[in-house]
Amino acid sequence: RAKAQACGHYHFFIPAYRTALVERRAMEKELRRALRCQEFVLYYQPQIHLTQGGLDGLEALVRWQHPRRGLVPPAEFLPLAEESGLIVTIGRQVLRQACDQMRAWRDAGLHPPRVAINLATAQFKQGDLVEEIRQGLTQAGLAPRDLEVEITEGTILDRDSAEIQRILAGIRELGVEIALDDFGTGYASLTHLKRFPVNRLKIDRSFVQSLGQDADDEAIVKMVIQLGHSLGLAIVAEGIETAEQAGYLSQQGCDVGQGYLFGRPMPAEEVTLRLRSPAFNGDERDQGVDECW
């Protein structure tokens, strides 16, 4: 019996630990293979002017087009990509792909709005991010205003924040604008907003989704819009799913909205179709953005 117990213990304990490790290694290997095979693709989500209507930008969101597993969302591979440092290489591919896509739309005679890419903290700590962005733009023949970068509160609260501040200043000097993502979920303070060269605040979708349900969150949203505006920042609301949420936000003076109400993240080809549509290009604009996006 003692033997069986020891055995059971062994089976329960060590293999579980080893399995996790083995799985992690296998997944890391898979990520490296995916990088070589260029399996990371960008989906684009529209950002809409809440007051005058029309398309203000597109946020590029990475997905893993896995040969067997299909389309894998970022939540399932970014944590390990960050832990392993592979996020830096993925980030480079994202930058390159976003710039190339913008070039392709232009070459097709289309008029895409600015594209925003998300930056991970690790990208500030390896290589020369400012130079990479400058090169990405130059190689695709783009202007700095064609690109925007999104950073999170985690990045500006990082312990290397002085160095990150310096790099962000370099990005701003290029003429690329910076958005602070998921605002309100962390501990970024007024001091941070003053110290970091941020142009836009993106209100996290957790606040947007409790509009009409949670008076505190409503007050926070109202305050962020006022505060942001008084600091000269544009305000973007994420995760807008209902017309009521959009209505409340535009009433409060929020500048831009993003969310399933206006469009889910979609493949580049789908954006191409919409950029081609008469509703987007013609003076049928006043039909409303819903027609087009």
Query: Which residues of the shown chain bind Mg ion in the complex (CB under 5 A)?
Result: 118, 150, 181-182, 238
241 binds, among ligand C2E, Mg ion, none (CB under 5 to 8 A by kind): ligand C2E
Q: Provide the minimum distance between the beta carbon of 183 and Mg ion in the complex, in angstroms, as a whole number.
A: 8
By beta carbon distance, the residue nearest ligand C2E is: 259
**Interface with ligand C2E includes 228 (CB under 6 A)?**
no
Residue 172 interacting entry, from ligand C2E, Mg ion, none, C-beta within 5 to 8 Å by type: none
Closer Cβ to ligand C2E, 114 or 284, answer by number: 114
Q: Name the segment binding ligand C2E (CB under 6 A); options: 19-27, 49-57, 254-262, 266-274.
A: 254-262
Q: How far is the CB of 92 from ligand C2E (least distance, A)?
A: 11
Report which of 172, 156, 170, 150 is spatially closest to residue 236, judged by C-alpha positions. Answer: 150
Please choose which of ligand C2E, Mg ion, none residue 78 contacts, taking the beta carbon within 5 to 8 angstroms, the exact cut-off set by kind. ligand C2E
Lookup result for tokens 């209505």 = 247
Q: Which residues make beta-bridge pairs with 61?
A: 43
Choose the one of ligand C2E, Mg ion, none that binds residue 27, judging by a C-beta under 5 to 8 angstroms depending on kind.
none
Q: What would the x/- binding string for ligand C2E be over residues 120 to 159, using CB under 6 A?
A: x-----------------------------x---------
Tokens of 22: 């083995």
In angstroms, rounded to a whole number, what is the distance separating the alpha carbons of residues 98 and 84? 23
Q: What's the burial of 293, exposed, middle or buried (CB within 10 Å: 0-12/13-18/19+)?
A: buried
Which position among 18, 260, 284, 288 is part of the footprint of ligand C2E (CB under 6 A)?
260
Q: Which is nearer to ligand C2E, 258 or 272 (CB)?
A: 258
Show the binding pattern over residues 203-222: x = contacts ligand C2E (CB under 6 A), - = does not. --x-----------------
Q: Are strands 256-257 and 70-72 parallel, antiparallel or unpaired?
A: unpaired
Residue closer to Mg ion (CB basis): 255 or 280? 255
Contact pattern from residue 61 through residue 90 relative to ligand C2E, giving x for each residue in contact according to CB under 6 A and a dash for the rest: xx----------xxx--x------------
Binding part of the chain for ligand C2E, among 114-122, 137-145, 162-170, 210-218 by CB under 6 A, reads 114-122
List residues bridging with 236 in a β-sheet. 202, 256
Nearer to ligand C2E, 165 or 185 (CB): 185
Q: Quick one: what does residue 174 bind among ligand C2E, Mg ion, none, with the CB cut-off 5 to 8 Å set by partner type?
A: none
Footprint of ligand C2E on this chain (CB under 6 A)?
45, 61-62, 73-75, 78, 91, 94, 117-120, 150, 181-182, 205, 238-241, 258-260, 265
